[in-house]
Amino acid sequence: MDTISPRTIRRILDEVDLQPHRTRYWRTARLDATFKERAEKVLWCYGNAGPLARRGVWTVAVDEVPNLQVLERDPIRRAIPGAIEQREFEYTRHGTVNLLLFLIVHTGRMEVAVEVKKDAAHDIRALRAFRRRHRGLHGVFLIQDGDPSHTAGDTQDYLAGCRGWWRPRLTPAHASWLNQAEMLVGAFGYHYLRRGSWDDRGAFIAHVLASGPEYNRLYAHPFEWTWTNPQMRQWFASHAH
C-alpha cells in the first residue's frame, strides 16, 4: 500500500483503542513487602468503611491540591448553536492557594480546608479542626500519602498524642491511586474549579468554602471501588519480582 488516508488511520487506531499521540508521566510503584502491607491496610479500611461507621469509626481519605493558581480571565463565551464554548487564553494571576480535601468514604461527602502553606504545622491545624467538628466519633482511619507534611515528626507526635483517635494508614510509595480522595479532587475540580475566574484570593477562597456544602448536597456519593484485598494479593503475586 503506497498511501493511506488519515481517516483510515483514525479508524484503525479507534478499533484497537490506541492513542499514540498522547503520553502521560508515570512512576512505577515498587512492589515489595512494604507496598503489600500498606495496600492491605488501606483496602481493609475501604472494604469495612460501612460497618466501621456504624460503630462510630470513620474512614477518611485526605489529599492536597498544592499551589493552586488563582486566575482571572475575561468572561467565557458560552456555547451557541454552531459554535463551541470559548475561553480567553490570557489571564491574570492572583497568587496561589493550598487546598486540603477530606473524603468521608462511606458517604462520599467532603470537607475542605484552605492552607496558607503546605507543611506539617498547617496539616496539624487542619486535622485538629476536623477532630473538633467530629468529636463525637470514636476514631478515624486516616488514609493519606507519604508526603513529608504527613510523616514529619511534629505530625506523628500530634497523631500519637490523640491516643488512637487518629489511625493513620499511608498509601504505598508512588501508589497514590490507592487514595480515594484523588477521585474527590477530580470531581470537585470538575464541578467548581475548571471554568472559574476570580479577581483575588479572597474571592477564590470564599468560592471554595461555599462550594463544599453544595457539592455534598448535589453530588456526594460513595465512590465505586471494586479493588479488594483478595484481588490485590492476586495481582501482587503475579507482578512482584
196-240: pLDDT as tens digits: 889 999 999 999 999 999 999 999 999 999 988 888 888 888 887
Residue at 9: amino acid letter: I
* Within a domain: 113: yes
What dihedral angle (degrees, nearest 10) is formed by the CA atoms of 222, 227, 230, 234? Answer: -170
* Within a domain: 6: no
Which residues span the domain enclosing 153? Answer: 31-239
* Within a domain: 25: no
pLDDT band at 25 (very low <50, low <70, confident <90, very high): low
Enter the pTM of the model.
0.84
Q: Is 91's pLDDT higher than 90?
A: no
100 exposure class (CB count in 10 Å sphere: 0-12, 13-18, 19+): buried
Total domains present in the chain? 1
Arithmetic mean of pLDDT, 166-189: 95
* Within a domain: 72: yes
CA distance 101 to 67: 14
pLDDT, position 192:
96
The mean-pLDDT minimum among 61-65, 116-120, 163-167, 219-223 falls in 116-120
pLDDT, position 96:
94
* Within a domain: 183: yes
